[in-house]
Amino acid sequence: MTITLHVKGMTCGHCKMAVTNALKELDGVQNVEVHLQEGTVDVDYDETKVSLEKLKEAIEEQGYDVK
């Protein structure tokens, strides 16, 4: 399954890496693509292994707001 999350507060390469690494640590996440200009994150994941709530929590733990 692929979902696009709207994330506030990402402005630089460090932000991009923090979000990417946090999501890739979750079991079931296959691919992460961060778009700084749009403020979005595309996530390919296995919904039988990881929930949308867990994806949001991983991003929020890095200090960003998920809308």
**What residues are paired with 29 via a beta bridge?**
45
**Token pair listed for 22:** 């946090």
pLDDT at residue 10 is higher than 90: yes
Tell how many helices (H) and how many strands (E) occur in the chain.
2, 4
Q: For 45-63, what is the mean pLDDT?
A: 97
Overall average pLDDT of the 40-65 stretch: 98
Q: How confident is the model at residue 67 (pLDDT cuts 50, 70, 90)?
A: confident
Residue whose pair of structure tokens reads 């733990």 in the numeric block: 61
Mean pLDDT of the chain: 97
